[in-house]
Amino acid sequence: MSFIWPSMLAGLAVLPVLVALYVWLLRRRSRSAVRYAGLGLVREAMSAGQGIRRHLPPALFLIALGLMLVAAARPTAVVTLPFAHETVVLAMDVSGSMRAADVAPSRMVAAQEAARAFIAAQPRSTRIGVVTFGGSAALIQPPTDDRTELLAALERFDFQRGTAVGSGLLVSLKTIFPEIEIDLSRRDPRPGAGPRSGASGARSGPGGVPGGTAPSLPGTSSTPDTAAPTVPPGSYTSAVIILLTDGQTTTGPDPIAAAWMAAERGVRVYTVGVGTPNGEILVGDGWSMRVRLDEEALKAIAAITLGEYFHAGTAEDLKKVYESLTSQIALETGETEVTALFTAGAALLMILSALLSLIWFKRVL
């Protein structure tokens, strides 16, 4: 426990003074009772039961006073409290590699089934949006609390060539903050990083062949974003992004740079890697490729935004991941002020002290 105004704790020094004053008053009354009262009355006053009753109300009052003095210092504590985010954005990979069947019946089908269960488990007050990304990214369902629309959106997935994880992150961020301009050409927000090489932020594919350019995103700009807000990572508590992919970025903006954009706006990104380390070989018309889970980028995105990375190697694992995400979103641990608890405790003890004094002695203390 810590205190916002620790200097106020100096007031606790008055408690020993009050205790000493109370003891002095008791001794003074005892001397008066011996001097003027009969022996029978003295014995009755000195009985054990009467002594406990006599001291309990003042003791409760002193404890209450101590709690009030602590409350004046504004105590804080790290607690876990229920919290429902207003908006959850599901960013889901629809690249061709999601056809792989290393997660039965396929990565895509398993992801859709787990997403349905996740949506059903959310409180009705939570608005959920759905973003898909492959070679480009799009918002296919704006945040809504209508579960029917959300489930219908999960059926509108179309496979695309390429995987632009960075684009998926940027469109998700734009969904949460529709009024902001996302500038792909401004300085990389990563600590120690220099200016970005260009607006596309393209990644190289295997063998150094460019994987493509960034898609045109609504609200993007090529001019410096001097008004971009910067807050501590993970501090924005009204929305989160859950990004599900097989992790193999081949085109679009750098996903790590996009993660830093989310971090500087306080948005946590929880990443889910679908697939197995060995992956699977997909075969098409005259081509074949091995699709393998790349976890490093997903771990980095989660770490940068103070989210968490989850791995799902089977359909059952994926369902458990979404169940875990539900509990993580519903409960949050953080430092909060607990002054009200101390104040309430002090008030209850003072009321109890007064009631006991009235019942036993027909007076308040």
List phi, psi (to 5°) of 95.
-70, 165
Whether residue 132 is found in the same domain as residue 39: no
Q: Show Cβ contacts of residue 182 under 8 Å, excluding neighbours closer than 6 positions.
A: 170, 173, 174, 217, 219, 220, 221, 225, 261
Q: Show Cβ contacts of residue 296 under 8 Å, excluding neighbours closer than 6 positions.
A: none
Whether residue 58 is found in the same domain as residue 106: no
* pLDDT score of 348: 93
Whether residue 138 is found in the same domain as residue 118: yes
Residue 144: give its domain's CATH number. 3.40.50.410
Whether residue 99 is found in the same domain as residue 52: no
Rounded to two decimals, what is the model's pTM?
0.62
Asked whether the predicted pLDDT for residue 91 surpasses 90, the reply is: yes
Domain-embedded: residue 71: yes
Domain-embedded: residue 330: no
**CA separation for the pair 135, 108 (Å, rounded):** 16
Report angle CA 338, 343, 346 to the nearest 5 degrees. 135
Asked whether the predicted pLDDT for residue 338 surpasses 90, the reply is: no
**CA separation for the pair 329, 156 (Å, rounded):** 26
Whether residue 74 is found in the same domain as residue 112: no
**CA separation for the pair 276, 44 (Å, rounded):** 82
Whether residue 140 is found in the same domain as residue 270: yes
Give Cα 62 distance to the centre of its chain: 39
Domain-embedded: residue 181: yes
Nearest to 242 by CA among 316, 295, 187, 309: 309
* pLDDT score of 31: 66
Whether residue 258 is found in the same domain as residue 142: yes
Domain-embedded: residue 325: no
Residues of the domain holding 350: 2-78+337-361
pLDDT grade, residue 184 (50/70/90)? low
Domain-embedded: residue 329: no
User: What does the pLDDT average to over 274-285?
Assistant: 66
**CA separation for the pair 241, 172 (Å, rounded):** 7
Q: Is the model more confident about 244 or about 49?
A: 244
Q: Is the model more confident about 140 or about 325?
A: 140
Domain-embedded: residue 246: yes
* pLDDT score of 220: 45
pLDDT grade, residue 223 (50/70/90)? very low
Q: How many CB atoms lie within 10 A of CB 21?
A: 10
Number of domains in the chain: 2
Most confident of 54-63, 191-200, 326-335: 54-63
User: What does the pLDDT average to over 190-216?
Assistant: 38
Whether residue 306 is found in the same domain as residue 240: yes
* pLDDT score of 337: 85
Two tokens at 13?
A: 């020094």
Whether residue 127 is found in the same domain as residue 247: yes
List phi, psi (to 5°) of 128.
-120, 135
Whether residue 262 is found in the same domain as residue 116: yes
Domain-embedded: residue 332: no
Asked whether the predicted pLDDT for residue 286 surpasses 70, the reply is: no
* pLDDT score of 290: 63
Asked whether the predicted pLDDT for residue 259 surpasses 70, the reply is: yes
Domain-embedded: residue 102: yes
User: What does the pLDDT average to over 311-319?
Assistant: 87
Whether residue 262 is found in the same domain as residue 118: yes
Whether residue 341 is found in the same domain as residue 244: no
pLDDT tens digits, residue range 108-156?
Answer: 999 999 999 999 988 888 899 999 999 999 999 999 999 999 999 999 9
CA distances from 355 to 68, 126, 189, 349 (A): 19, 45, 62, 10
User: What does the pLDDT average to over 302-315?
Assistant: 91
